[in-house]
Amino acid sequence: SNVEGKLNENSFPPGFLFGTATSAHQIEGAWNLNGKGENLWDRFTHTYPERILDGSNGDTACDSYHKYKEDVAIMKEMGIQFYRFSLSWSRILPAGFSYKINPDGIRYYNDLINALLENNIIPMITLFHWDMPQTLQDLGGFSNELIVNWFEEYVKVAFEHFGDRVKLWITFNEPITICMYGYGRDTLAPAYNSSGISDYLCGHNLLKAHASAYHLYKNKYESKQKGKIGITLVSHWFESSSTFQTDLQAAQRKREFVFDWFAKPIFHPNGDYPEIMKKRIAFRSEAEGFTQSRLPQFSREEIEYIKGTYDYLGLNHYTTLMTSDAEEDAISDPSFDKDARVKSYYNPEWPSAASPWLKVVPWGFRKLLNYISNRYKDVPIFITENGFSDHEGLNDQERIDYYEQYLSALLDAIHEDGVNVKGYAAWSLLDNFEWKDGYVHRFGLVHVNFTDPERPRTKKASAQYYTEILRLRRLPKKKSFQIDSNFIW
Ligand code: PNW
């Protein structure tokens, strides 16, 4: 309407927070130093180096264990308002259980938190970003229901030691990635490769573990510490390939199997799994000869215990997939994909990142935000990850383009659609250990030289661009962002 209104539409709202994100195993290194216990990714990469694209591991990674002060200084220079990082469970509890606390683990995170606060950067802690202590993985990890107790013991230690200064907590990073890629398939550790069984079991126990951590915080810590606690879910946007009912329903089914699998039990007033999942999995389980559905059932009490366990929703989002209806597969072995019965593919015209799964589709971000906001009644959303991978280099114009387009879609979701987004974290602050892709696919705003034992950091053009967004609190013209050097990687 007026000039001010127009300006505001290009601007991020006053209280909106900008940050960057990392995770412990991807950046810390120091895998066996000063009392840290072995975790599942240490074991996996040491045992099966051939499963990692460059045969690498997280033994040293960015060496942020030693270089955290430099990381904080870089964020300070960039004007970063919050830093999302994760705690390494086995650095704090080397044996997994809380009978043995590693003082150096407590010391390390205290130092990091204090350095952030001294620089006016708000710490946001992910309690679990995939690095299960090996001791607990040996007992089945998320396939053992006792994970609920183990996780509660561990988060209690975190709340006790860090909760006086940390006000933003996330229980789990991407349950579906853990359960589908780690338990259902063999893409990520522990690679159980038991689709349609182990993935659902993992999800079931993880949801209960999340709820118990939430209740512990609310009952014992919130009144004193006054923080907020949520969970980070990840989802692509799934776009129907046609307007045929069957395809529209398939796209919706896929959204429910991927996003609502974990969102509905927590964020919907009725709780529990999506009806379509319960129905499809029960139907195929019976046809396969199972005596019960492969999707475990929540009791009435469990539904009540899990629903509403959030202060906010953390959302990781990267890309979009086209979907269409698939034929009912012949009854054979259990499989998540056969349960969902949806075909998916990328539009070949979409630009690709180095990671083959990551295509640049900014409108999908806006659609996903609207989907979530409509379904879950304006739930406060923190974007806890969004970013782009390339091979290596400082003049990362493609990353700048990605951020420009995705942040513009985010502004539309906020201003035109009224989606309640509280903040945004770029994945990632640093080039880091990208799980099975090793150091080949790089997501950093800041370059790390992994062949140099000092792990020197150099800001990329995208770091300058992000700095400028944070300074202006709107999207700047991007032409001027160039690294003035002759680096050839
Ligand atoms: C996230 N997908 O995982 C993780 O939280 C990060 O640790 C990781 O480094 C980052 O994204 C980049 O991969 C994802 O298949 C795993 O679409 C899989 C997908 C997306 C994100």
Which pLDDT tens digit goes with each residue over 196-233?
A: 999 999 999 999 999 999 999 999 999 999 999 999 99
pLDDT for the residue 433: 99
Task: Return d(Cα 63, Cα 402) in angstroms, integer.
Answer: 28
Task: Return d(Cα 146, Cα 143) in angstroms, integer.
Answer: 9
Q: What is the DSSP letter of 53?
A: T
What's the pLDDT tens digit per position in 241-260? Answer: 999 999 999 999 999 999 99
357 CA distance to ligand 1 middle (Å): 10
End-to-end distance of the chain based on CA atoms, in angstroms? Answer: 49
What's the pLDDT tens digit per position in 380-424? Answer: 999 999 999 999 999 999 999 999 999 999 999 999 999 999 999
Task: Return d(Cα 230, Cα 207) in angstroms, integer.
Answer: 12
pLDDT band at 484 (very low <50, low <70, confident <90, very high): low
Q: Known catalytic residues?
A: 174, 385
Nearest CA to ligand 1 atom 7: 23
Closest CA to 136 of 123, 117, 115, 151: 151
Q: Is 131 a pocket residue for ligand 1 (Cβ < 6 Å)? A: no
5 CA distance to ligand 1 middle (Å): 36
Q: Is 23 a pocket residue for ligand 1 (Cβ < 6 Å)? A: yes
Nearest CA to ligand 1 atom 16: 177
Q: Is 344 a pocket residue for ligand 1 (Cβ < 6 Å)? A: no
99 CA distance to ligand 1 middle (Å): 33
Q: Is 237 a pocket residue for ligand 1 (Cβ < 6 Å)? A: no
Q: Is 320 a pocket residue for ligand 1 (Cβ < 6 Å)? A: no
Nearest atom within ligand 1 for CA of residue 130: 7
Q: Is 41 a pocket residue for ligand 1 (Cβ < 6 Å)? A: no
Q: Does the pLDDT value for residue 276 go beyond 80?
A: yes
Q: Does the pLDDT value for residue 489 go beyond 50?
A: no
Q: Is 385 a pocket residue for ligand 1 (Cβ < 6 Å)? A: yes
> Residue 270 half-sphere exposure, CB side, CA atoms within 13 Å?
6
Q: Is 174 a pocket residue for ligand 1 (Cβ < 6 Å)? A: yes
Ligand 1 pocket test, pick from 234, 258, 357, 436 with the greatest ligand atom count within 8 Å of Cβ, gives 234
Task: Return d(Cα 192, Cα 182) in angstroms, integer.
Answer: 6
Closest CA to 363 of 344, 380, 379, 347: 347
Nearest atom within ligand 1 for CA of residue 174: 5
pLDDT band at 482 (very low <50, low <70, confident <90, very high): confident
| pTM (predicted TM-score) | 0.97
Contacts 24+ apart (CB under 8 A), 273-278: 273/298, 277/339
Ligand 1 pocket test, pick from 358, 427, 443 with the greatest ligand atom count within 8 Å of Cβ, gives 427
pLDDT band at 483 (very low <50, low <70, confident <90, very high): confident
Nearest CA to ligand 1 atom 17: 357
Give 230's contacts (C-beta < 8 A, 6+ positions apart).
169, 170, 171, 310, 311, 312, 313, 314, 382
Q: Is 458 a pocket residue for ligand 1 (Cβ < 6 Å)? A: no
Written as six digits, the tokens of 351 are: 């630009």
The complex scores an ipTM of: 0.88
Q: Is 437 a pocket residue for ligand 1 (Cβ < 6 Å)? A: no
Residue-wise DSSP of 341-355:
TEEEE--TTS-B-SS
388 CA distance to ligand 1 middle (Å): 10
178 CA distance to ligand 1 middle (Å): 10
Task: Return d(Cα 243, Cα 398) in angstroms, integer.
Answer: 32
Ligand 1 pocket test, pick from 344, 435, 448 with the greatest ligand atom count within 8 Å of Cβ, gives 435
Written as six digits, the tokens of 367 are: 């659609």
> Residue 470 half-sphere exposure, CB side, CA atoms within 13 Å?
22
pLDDT for the residue 173: 99
84 CA distance to ligand 1 middle (Å): 15
pLDDT for the residue 485: 57
Written as six digits, the tokens of 286 are: 């019976």
